[in-house]
Every structure is written in structure tokens, then in C-alpha cells.
Structure 1
Amino acid sequence: MVKPTQLISLEIGKELNKNYNEKRGAILAEKTAMEDANAFWFSIEELERYIAYVKDTAAGKGLSVNGIRIYLGVYPETAEKNAGYTTVFLSPTGTAINEVVDRGVILQGNSLDLTEIEPLNFGSMGNPPKLNYGG
């Protein structure tokens, strides 16, 4: 196994979460008059199943997958569940295999949303009151 290079320490994670809660969460709470979620959870099985689905679907559509982009969203006020609350959804990224653009240049290293494949949503929301990382 190769250790990921993007790992951060517990202390940095706590600082990032604290900064979000104080700087963004506080503004959102004031603006919306409600305390919003600040954490979301997906099981390892859900993530592995989604990645396998994305790879299989992409191959069948002639797409090359190179990552997953995580978007922030807000459920509409008309939603039956979690109306008005923040959510995240995962979108596969990549390119069409051998995609050619502008003067015959092959795209390499681009991470475009693969909108031909459905995003993943509906993890478990860290229900308000907000969670504090590591604490």
C-alpha cells in the first residue's frame, strides 16, 4: 500500500473544521436562521460500489474516469426530507477516451464532469447541531 500524499494531521483537521464552523457556518446560520449540517457520511461500501459503478458505466460509454469531484448543494424547500439543508454530491470526472479538441490536440489530465453518469447523493448528514471534528 502506498500512503496518500494528501493526508493532514488531526490538529489541521480540527482547525479546518473550526474555521468552517466559525467563518462559514456562523454566516449561514445567521442568514438562514437555522443551524445547518457541516459533515456528511458515506459508508466504505457505498463509496466502493459507486466507484465500481462509475468505472463500469464509463467504460461502456467510452469515457475515461480520472477522479471524483465533490460538490456542495442545498436541498430545495420543496424536498420531503432535509428541505433547505446543505448536502454534498459526488460527480465522476474524466474525459472521452481519445477525445480530440481544438486543432487535433488530445485532452490529457483534464477533469471534466462526466455528466453522462449520475452523481451520488444521500449520504448521512451530520444533523444539526453541527459536528466538531476530532472532539
Structure 2
Amino acid sequence: MKNPPAKPSQLITKEFARQLNVNYNTKKASLTSKKAQKEDANAIWYSLEELENYIHYIKTNGAKEGYNVDGIRFYFGVYPDDEKHGEKAGLTTLFLVPTGKQAETSTAKIQSFALSQEASPDIQSLEPMNYGNIGRPPSLLY
């Protein structure tokens, strides 16, 4: 194969991605009852090079696994409140998960025509991407 994609350095495990999302949902619920102790991230930034590398990675590896990768779903998460996450501990994050459908044979195409109108599911066999640069005080304004 010509130019195999480099494995992105921001890949995280699916388990950690789930933990981030559960933490986010839990934290959002608790924010309505009490004020956060520190100002949270209000933006996440990825360089074009990081995004292009991830897109190349998921398209190439998705195809190897029989998927037509058609998009990226962005999930919110919250880093765990522990020392190993340093200044990001307890702050909001955004992680990316590839979406797509299994490549279809000609007979499967006929059988699944109605299913093709559904939203693309997450591709569980490819790693999510995280660790963009967070924007927080001074707050970024959109």
C-alpha cells in the first residue's frame, strides 16, 4: 500500500471515551444544582494536520475492516478528577468517533435499501480521537 496512515497520537480507548461521556452527562446534571469550582473549557481546537491525519486514518482502516466511513460524530466528555490528567482534570473535552456502514454486496444492497436512510452508526472497531487544545480563561468568544 502506498502511504499508509500514521496512527494518530490522540487515539483513546473506547472505554475511556465512554467514561468521558458519562462524566460529561453527570457533570452537566450537577451544574444545575451547584456552581463549578473552576471555569470549564469553552472551546476545543484541533489543527488541520491532526484532523486530516485522523480522517486519512479512519478512511483507510475503516475500508480494511469493510466499512464505508462517511462521517465523524463529536461527543462531549469530562476528564476524570485525578492527578494524571493534570490541568484538564474535571474539564470538558470533545472526542471524535468515525461513523459509517459495512460495505454491501449487491444482494445486500437490495435488502438494505430502507436501512440506507438511517443515520450512520458509530464504527466501534476504530479508536476515538481526543486531546485537542482546550480554550478557557481568558475565555474564547465565538
- Aligned residue for 1:95? 101
Report the aligned-residue RMSD. Answer: 2.1
Are 1:115 and 2:124 an aligned pair?
Answer: yes
Are 1:53 and 2:57 an aligned pair?
Answer: yes
- Aligned residue for 1:6? none
DSSP-derived class of the 2:116 partner: coil
- For residues 83-123 of structure 1, give each alpha carbon's deviation from its aligned partner in whole angstroms, at most 9, with x where no partner exists: 100000011011111286xxx43531431011111111001
Report the count of equivalent residues. 104
Match of 1:39 among 37, 43, 68: 43
Deviation (angstroms), 1:33: 2.1
Flag structure 1 segments of 5+ consecutive residues without an equivalent: 1-23
- Aligned residue for 1:11? none
Matches within 5 A, 1:8-19: none
Q: Which amino acid aligns with 1:47?
A: L
TM-score normalised by length of structure 2 = 0.65
The sequence identity of aligned pairs, in percent, is 46
DSSP-derived class of the 1:50 partner: helix
TM-score normalised by length of structure 1 = 0.68
Contact 1:62-1:97 within 8 A present in 2 as well: yes
- Aligned residue for 1:17? none
Flag structure 2 segments of 5+ consecutive residues without an equivalent: 1-27
Q: Which amino acid aligns with 1:108?
A: S
DSSP-derived class of the 1:113 partner: coil
DSSP-derived class of the 1:112 partner: coil
Contact 1:36-1:129 within 8 A present in 2 as well: no
DSSP-derived class of the 1:132 partner: coil
Contact 1:75-1:83 within 8 A present in 2 as well: yes
Are 1:105 and 2:109 an aligned pair?
Answer: no
Higher relative contact order by CA 8 Å / sep ≥ 6: 1 or 2?
2
DSSP-derived class of the 2:124 partner: coil
